[in-house]
Structure 1
Amino acid sequence: MMMLMVKGCNDNDEGKEDEEEEEKEEEEEEEEEEEEEEEEEEEEEEEEQEEEEEEEEEKKWRRRKEKREEEMK
Protein backbone atom coordinates (compact mmCIF):
# COMPACT_ATOMS: atom_id res chain seq x y z
CA MET A 1 0.00 0.00 0.00
CA MET A 2 2.77 2.42 0.80
CA MET A 3 4.25 1.92 -2.64
CA LEU A 4 1.02 2.87 -4.29
CA MET A 5 0.71 6.06 -2.30
CA VAL A 6 4.26 7.09 -3.07
CA LYS A 7 3.76 6.28 -6.71
CA GLY A 8 0.56 8.29 -6.72
CA CYS A 9 2.38 11.28 -5.28
CA ASN A 10 5.03 11.04 -7.95
CA ASP A 11 2.38 10.95 -10.62
CA ASN A 12 0.87 14.13 -9.24
CA ASP A 13 4.26 15.82 -9.19
CA GLU A 14 4.86 14.80 -12.78
CA GLY A 15 1.43 16.11 -13.73
CA LYS A 16 2.22 19.43 -12.08
CA GLU A 17 5.56 19.60 -13.86
CA ASP A 18 3.86 18.86 -17.17
CA GLU A 19 1.30 21.59 -16.54
CA GLU A 20 4.03 24.04 -15.61
CA GLU A 21 5.98 23.17 -18.75
CA GLU A 22 2.87 23.61 -20.88
CA GLU A 23 2.17 26.98 -19.27
CA LYS A 24 5.76 28.09 -19.88
CA GLU A 25 5.57 26.96 -23.50
CA GLU A 26 2.27 28.79 -23.99
CA GLU A 27 3.73 31.95 -22.47
CA GLU A 28 6.78 31.69 -24.71
CA GLU A 29 4.59 31.18 -27.76
CA GLU A 30 2.47 34.19 -26.82
CA GLU A 31 5.60 36.30 -26.36
CA GLU A 32 6.93 35.18 -29.74
CA GLU A 33 3.61 35.99 -31.38
CA GLU A 34 3.60 39.44 -29.78
CA GLU A 35 7.16 40.06 -30.95
CA GLU A 36 6.26 38.96 -34.48
CA GLU A 37 3.23 41.26 -34.47
CA GLU A 38 5.36 44.17 -33.28
CA GLU A 39 7.93 43.47 -36.00
CA GLU A 40 5.19 43.33 -38.63
CA GLU A 41 3.74 46.61 -37.40
CA GLU A 42 7.18 48.23 -37.50
CA GLU A 43 7.74 46.95 -41.04
CA GLU A 44 4.34 48.28 -42.12
CA GLU A 45 5.12 51.67 -40.59
CA GLU A 46 8.48 51.76 -42.36
CA GLU A 47 6.84 50.85 -45.67
CA GLU A 48 4.22 53.56 -45.19
CA GLN A 49 6.92 56.09 -44.39
CA GLU A 50 8.89 55.07 -47.48
CA GLU A 51 5.79 55.42 -49.63
CA GLU A 52 5.11 58.87 -48.21
CA GLU A 53 8.70 59.89 -48.89
CA GLU A 54 8.44 58.61 -52.45
CA GLU A 55 5.22 60.53 -52.96
CA GLU A 56 6.88 63.69 -51.67
CA GLU A 57 9.79 63.18 -54.06
CA GLU A 58 7.37 62.71 -56.93
CA LYS A 59 5.55 65.89 -56.01
CA LYS A 60 8.81 67.81 -55.93
CA TRP A 61 9.83 66.38 -59.27
CA ARG A 62 6.46 67.31 -60.82
CA ARG A 63 6.72 70.85 -59.46
CA ARG A 64 10.19 71.24 -60.92
CA LYS A 65 8.99 69.87 -64.22
CA GLU A 66 6.03 72.23 -64.24
CA LYS A 67 8.28 75.19 -63.45
CA ARG A 68 10.61 74.28 -66.29
CA GLU A 69 7.70 73.97 -68.68
CA GLU A 70 6.39 77.36 -67.61
CA GLU A 71 9.81 78.91 -68.06
CA MET A 72 10.04 77.43 -71.54
CA LYS A 73 6.78 79.11 -72.52
Structure 2
Amino acid sequence: MGLVIGRKEGEAIIIGDLIRIEVFEENGLLRLDIDAPKEINIVREEIYNPKNKNSSKALYEFAKTHEKLFKPSSIEEV
Protein backbone atom coordinates (compact mmCIF):
# COMPACT_ATOMS: atom_id res chain seq x y z
CA MET A 1 0.00 0.00 0.00
CA GLY A 2 1.22 3.48 -0.79
CA LEU A 3 0.84 6.68 1.17
CA VAL A 4 -2.59 7.00 2.82
CA ILE A 5 -3.83 10.55 3.43
CA GLY A 6 -7.14 11.53 5.02
CA ARG A 7 -8.84 14.57 3.48
CA LYS A 8 -12.12 16.32 4.18
CA GLU A 9 -14.30 18.15 1.69
CA GLY A 10 -12.51 21.25 0.41
CA GLU A 11 -9.06 19.95 1.38
CA ALA A 12 -6.44 19.08 -1.21
CA ILE A 13 -3.12 17.32 -1.71
CA ILE A 14 -0.26 18.40 -3.97
CA ILE A 15 1.83 15.87 -5.91
CA GLY A 16 5.17 17.28 -7.01
CA ASP A 17 4.88 20.82 -8.34
CA LEU A 18 2.33 20.03 -11.04
CA ILE A 19 -0.63 18.05 -9.66
CA ARG A 20 -3.30 19.22 -7.21
CA ILE A 21 -6.16 16.97 -6.08
CA GLU A 22 -9.08 18.42 -4.11
CA VAL A 23 -11.92 16.49 -2.49
CA PHE A 24 -15.46 17.84 -2.86
CA GLU A 25 -19.00 16.60 -2.34
CA GLU A 26 -21.63 16.52 -5.07
CA ASN A 27 -25.11 15.04 -4.62
CA GLY A 28 -23.97 13.08 -1.56
CA LEU A 29 -20.92 11.59 -3.33
CA LEU A 30 -17.26 12.41 -2.75
CA ARG A 31 -15.51 13.57 -5.92
CA LEU A 32 -11.93 14.42 -6.83
CA ASP A 33 -11.04 17.61 -8.68
CA ILE A 34 -7.69 16.90 -10.33
CA ASP A 35 -5.65 19.78 -11.71
CA ALA A 36 -2.70 18.52 -13.77
CA PRO A 37 -0.91 19.38 -17.02
CA LYS A 38 -2.55 18.03 -20.18
CA GLU A 39 0.52 15.84 -20.79
CA ILE A 40 -0.33 13.74 -17.73
CA ASN A 41 -2.91 11.06 -18.48
CA ILE A 42 -5.53 10.62 -15.78
CA VAL A 43 -7.68 7.51 -16.16
CA ARG A 44 -9.88 5.57 -13.73
CA GLU A 45 -8.21 2.29 -12.72
CA GLU A 46 -11.02 0.08 -14.03
CA ILE A 47 -10.46 1.52 -17.49
CA TYR A 48 -6.66 1.61 -17.28
CA ASN A 49 -6.49 -2.04 -16.21
CA PRO A 50 -8.99 -4.01 -18.33
CA LYS A 51 -8.16 -7.25 -16.41
CA ASN A 52 -9.76 -5.71 -13.31
CA LYS A 53 -12.73 -7.65 -11.87
CA ASN A 54 -15.05 -5.00 -13.36
CA SER A 55 -13.60 -5.40 -16.84
CA SER A 56 -15.80 -5.99 -19.83
CA LYS A 57 -15.65 -6.06 -23.59
CA ALA A 58 -16.77 -2.41 -23.59
CA LEU A 59 -13.78 -1.39 -21.46
CA TYR A 60 -11.46 -3.31 -23.76
CA GLU A 61 -12.94 -1.57 -26.81
CA PHE A 62 -12.57 1.80 -25.09
CA ALA A 63 -8.92 1.05 -24.32
CA LYS A 64 -8.23 -0.02 -27.91
CA THR A 65 -9.81 3.13 -29.36
CA HIS A 66 -7.93 5.32 -26.87
CA GLU A 67 -4.64 3.42 -27.04
CA LYS A 68 -2.48 6.53 -26.68
CA LEU A 69 -3.73 6.87 -23.08
CA PHE A 70 -2.50 3.43 -22.07
CA LYS A 71 0.78 1.60 -21.79
CA PRO A 72 0.83 -0.98 -24.61
CA SER A 73 1.18 -3.90 -22.17
CA SER A 74 -1.95 -2.87 -20.25
CA ILE A 75 -4.33 -3.50 -23.16
CA GLU A 76 -5.22 -7.16 -23.33
CA GLU A 77 -8.33 -8.64 -24.85
CA VAL A 78 -10.84 -9.91 -22.30
TM-score (norm 1): 0.20
- In terms of fraction of residues, the more helix-rich structure is 1
TM-score (norm 2): 0.19
- In terms of fraction of residues, the more strand-rich structure is 2
Q: Whose radius of gyration is greater, 1 or 2?
A: 1
Question: Per chain length, whose mean CA-contact separation is higher, i.e. which structure has more relative contact order (CA < 8 Å, sep 6+)?
Answer: 2
